[in-house]
Amino acid sequence: MENDSRSAPLTPEERWGDLGLYGARGMSGGEALARGLDDRASCRIPSVNTSRGLAIRLRYLTWDNRGDQWLRQAGITATDRTIARWKNGQQRPQPANLKKIDRAFWTCRRTCLAEYYKRRLWGDGRGTRIEIHPVDQEQVEPSRRRELRVRRITVRRQWVAIVDAWNSNDYAALDDLWQSIVSDLGSDHSAYSYVSHLGFGV
């Protein structure tokens, strides 16, 4: 049986011709998917380095019956008394613990949002429409620019896998899933392996 080369995954060079070699700027489609979900999960939450941002994270992480499990899983070994002082604003965590608190917060938040995102993006089979903005070619010499336009596509079947990969920080899986999405764009799909932005609502 003859091998179908169309099913073989494309290398980054095949996808764009070495993104950035001629000045194009963008990110992989998988990274753009993750950023889109991250942006919606963040809800403009202040940095962990601010008093408000720290308080929000500690309150969220220990809300209801969560206890300190998320903090412990992130590698925080401070005593319960110290954690209580953090929560009451009586003591500020050291920079290393701030990073662990931030990591614990985003891990917890992703886990809590994952099932909602799957249902919302699946939309009872209707899926969600994505607006694909091509790479920024402003710094590319005119003779080397490609004619790319904003494309729109409705994604249906991949959302569960996308959210699972996002939840586990599996960027390789997200890139593979993005390739399966843009393959529906036709002959120029490889030009959208890298993008400047993805627009979609959750």
pLDDT in tens, 81-122: 999 999 999 999 999 999 999 999 999 999 999 999 999 999
What number of other Cβ atoms are within 10 A of residue 3's Cβ? 7
CB atoms within 10 A of CB 85: 15
CB 53 within 8 A of CB 47: yes
Q: For tokens 């729109």, name the residue.
A: 152
Q: In which element (H, E) is residue 177 found?
A: helix 171-182
Rounded CA-CA distance 58/191 in Å is 43
Per the listing, tokens 């194009």 go with 24
> Residue 2: pLDDT band by 50, 70, 90 thresholds?
very low
Q: What is the pLDDT of residues 122-133, one digit of tens each?
A: 999 999 999 999
Q: Which two tokens stand for residue 10?
A: 């494309």
- How far is 133 from 197, CA to CA, in rounded Å? 5
Given a cut of 90, whether residue 10 has pLDDT beyond it is: no
Q: Are 27 and 194 in contact (CB under 8 A)?
A: yes
The answer to whether residue 162 scores a pLDDT higher than 60 is: yes
Main-chain dihedrals φ then ψ at residue 38, nearest 5 degrees: -60, -45
The share of the chain scoring above pLDDT 70, in percent, equals: 86
Check: CB of residue 74 under 8 Å from CB of residue 103: yes
Place of tokens 């500020």: 92
